[in-house]
Amino acid sequence: MIIVTGATGKLGRRTVERLLERVPADRVGVSVRDPRKAEDLADRGVRVRQGSFDDPASLVHAFEGAEQLLLVSLDRTGEECVTGHRTAIDAAVKAGVGRILYTSQMGAAHDSRFQACRDHARTEDLLHATGLPWTSLRNGFYTSSALQFLEPARHTGDIALPADGPVAWTGHDDLAEATAAILTDEGRFEGPTPPLTGPAALDFSAVAEIASQTLGRPFTRTVIDDDTFHEQTLAHGAPAPIADLILSIFTAARNGEFTTVDPTLAELIGREPATFDTLLQHAWTE
């Protein structure tokens, strides 16, 4: 059986749907905090069990019988994130899981300027220490993050953000399809995968040009200093640690941590991944 955590989230849900195109429903299970949100999956024959990263016993039960476990990384940062992942990995060992796949990120490294990438690196260390077979999916930076940064510009026409660098923005749908392909072909990757990226690395100046061409109206790119951006983020209600985290994305991008474009994702899904302009148009015109 293949067990997926976070199966009601953006990536987890899409991955389950792609899995159900490849294997019978009775070979798929999900571990979710609120089983009511996965009732439709249960109705289709998927095994649904409650599992919380704050309740180790629930995870052991949710992971029971897993030949493979897809551990979708938590939406937490720092020690809280790594502790949650440690709890899940320990539960997987206790449950006798055969293989763990983990949704990491391109640029995962202990010295990354982006906190999440440091968390991913620490989690990969935990996976290695289990002695179990494991795969770390080095996913490209989600395009949905870029679209969130662009939301104010949707109304103003001005992309006012800190100095950045090229980022290989990558769509959730393509990553979910690739993840399902890897889960149904065991052992294709041992340890970290190559970066699973979209077809181009773009900075926000390039994004402004793409937005102008795609949407037929002008977009400008204004660089604001880091302190001003940080203050603006706080003023919009973000806690200080989240404001620090968001700013660190730009710091890491300036350091070239997300520039790699790799063909592995295209090879896994059998086509070119969706381009930024396609994902932008889909998000803003539908």
CB 53 within 8 A of CB 81: no
Amino acid 284: pLDDT: 86
pLDDT, position 234 = 95
For all residues of the chain together, what is the average pLDDT? Answer: 96
Domain with 79, as residue range(s), is: 2-138+172-192
Is residue 143 one of the residues assigned to a domain? no
Instruction: Give the mean model confidence (pLDDT) for residues 167-188.
Output: 94
> Considering the chain, what percentage of its residues have pLDDT values greater than 70?
99
Say how far apart CA 124 and CA 112 lie, in whole Å. Answer: 14
Helix-helix angle 240-254:115-130, to 10 degrees = 90
256 is a domain residue = no
Residue 197 inside a domain? The answer is: no
Distance CA 82, CA 78 (A): 6
Q: Is 220 exposed, middle or buried (0-12, 13-18, 19+ CB in 10 A)?
A: middle
Q: For the sheet with 99-105, list strands across it.
A: 47-50, 28-32, 2-5, 68-71, 99-105, 134-139, 191-192
Is the predicted pLDDT of residue 285 greater than 90, yes or no? no
Tell me, what CATH number does 102's domain have?
A: 3.40.50.720
Under the banding of pLDDT at 50, 70 and 90, the label for residue 244 is very high
Report how far residue 276's alpha carbon sits from residue 255's, in angstroms, rounded to the nearest whole number.
21
Output the pLDDT for position 286: 63
The count of structural domains within the chain is 1
Q: What is the pLDDT of residues 114-158, one digit of tens each?
A: 999 999 999 999 999 999 999 999 999 999 999 999 999 998 999
Q: Is residue 45 part of a domain?
A: yes
The verdict on residue 57 lying in a domain is: yes
In a domain, 182, yes or no: yes
36 found inside a domain: yes
Q: Is residue 270 in some structural domain?
A: no
